[in-house]
Amino acid sequence: MISLFKDPTLEQEYYRCYDKTLNEFGLPFESRFVPTTFGETHVLRFGEEGKKPLVLLHGMTMSSAMWYPNVKPFAQDRTVYAIDVMGDFGKSRPAAPLKSRQEAARWLLETLDALKLDKADLAGHSMGGFLALNFSLSCPERVSKLVLYAPAGSFHKINLKFFAKIFPALIFHSERLTDKAFIWLSGNKEPLEPAIRSLIVAAYRGAMPQLHVVPSVIPPEEFRGFAVPTLLVIGEKEVIYPAGKVAETAKSLIADLETRVIPGASHSLTMEHAGIVNEATLRFLRK
């Protein structure tokens, strides 16, 4: 297996912070690993078994811990599976990096097969949104409904400022640069909540993601015949691309699309505007 961490001590500190962050969910959960060609995928399951499954894919470097403001209401209606993206921060154990959209789709397909999920609702934030859309285009028969929270790439190229903010924090392992990056992504320009901040700082201090898939603009021809009902949620103040243009492009490509633009929100909308995000998601899924 490939370790993302340069030092075993830093790796154990990250896992300690990860486990501590799980207390923020306020729910019992099951933690398990499932085998895939690309390594062992770590999955958190919340809620009663037997309900319709909802699969969550986190944003880049965030891990499944980012869903702590969202899972409790989701678990009232669904059995929720939060998956740590292979090669990104989290507890998944990569055997080899994901290097293409095709490999990313295959990894998620193998993960869902291992979980015995023949069909599920699928939601993702940022990079997780890109991976969720990529999978839905590749395997639409496996997705009941798709929810995209500020998906990276997908409908519009990413602002270069994003890379200018994030990569210095990863390369120089600076707590100050990490705070600066996430304040830039924030709609209210405030630091992350303490629990998730400690986890992110621990990751940026001593690790480098091994996910080699770059979120890109998906060619329009790939959407021909795409019929998965989709909800797109973006912030009015989104910084990685213009929210209005993304909404317009998505509408032109996805026939069965609902769009929700949240006033005052930016890229961290699932955490900072959790109430609105949760309500919009559940209303869409209950239809």
At position 107, the amino acid (one-letter code) is: W
Classify 282 as helix, strand or coil.
Answer: helix
- Nearest one of 97, 129, 148 to 215, comparing CA atoms: 129
Question: What is the CB neighbour count within 10 angstroms for residue 133?
Answer: 30
Query: How many whole angstroms separate alpha carbon 84 and alpha carbon 93?
Result: 9
Measured CA to CA, the distance from residue 168 to residue 181 in angstroms comes to: 9
Q: What is the torsion angle, in degrees rounded to the nearest 10, for the CA atoms of residue 181, residue 187, residue 193 and residue 198?
A: -10
Residue tagged active-site, from 42, 125, 156, 267: 267
Residues 6+ apart with CB under 8 A from 223: 137, 253, 254
In 55-100, where does DSSP find H-type helix? 71-77
Lookup: tokens for 197:
């901040």
- Degrees to nearest 5, angle at CA 150 with 146 and 155: 80
Cα–Cα distance list, 253 to 65, 103, 280 (Å): 32, 24, 21
Residue 267 is among the residues annotated as catalytic for this protein: yes
| Residues paired with 44 in a beta bridge | 31, 82
As a whole number of angstroms, the distance between CA 129 and CA 136 comes to: 10
Which residues, other chains included, contact 137 with Cβ-Cβ below 8 Å and sequence gap of 6+?
A: 218, 222, 223, 226
* Catalytic positions: 267
